[in-house]
A = this chain, B = another copy of it.
Amino acid sequence: MKKNENREPLCDDIAGKDCGLKRVIDTVGGKWKIMILCVIDRNEIVRYGELRRSIHGITNTMLANSLKELEADGLVERKQYDEMPVRVEYNLTEKTKTLIPILLELKKWGEGNL
**Residues of A in contact with B (beta carbons under 8 Å apart):** 1-4, 8-11, 14-15, 19-27, 29-31, 34-35, 37-39, 41-47, 50, 54-57, 73-74, 95, 98-100, 102-114
Contact = CB atoms under 8 A, between A and B. Distances in A.
A10 B37 contact: yes
Contact of A107 (B1, B10, B38): B10
A56 to B, nearest CB: 5
Given A20-B106, A27-B114, A102-B109, 11 more contacts: A3-B43, A4-B44, A8-B104, A10-B104, A14-B55, A14-B56, A19-B107, A21-B34, A21-B38, A21-B107, A24-B106
Given A1-B46, A10-B103, A19-B107, A34 B25 contact: yes
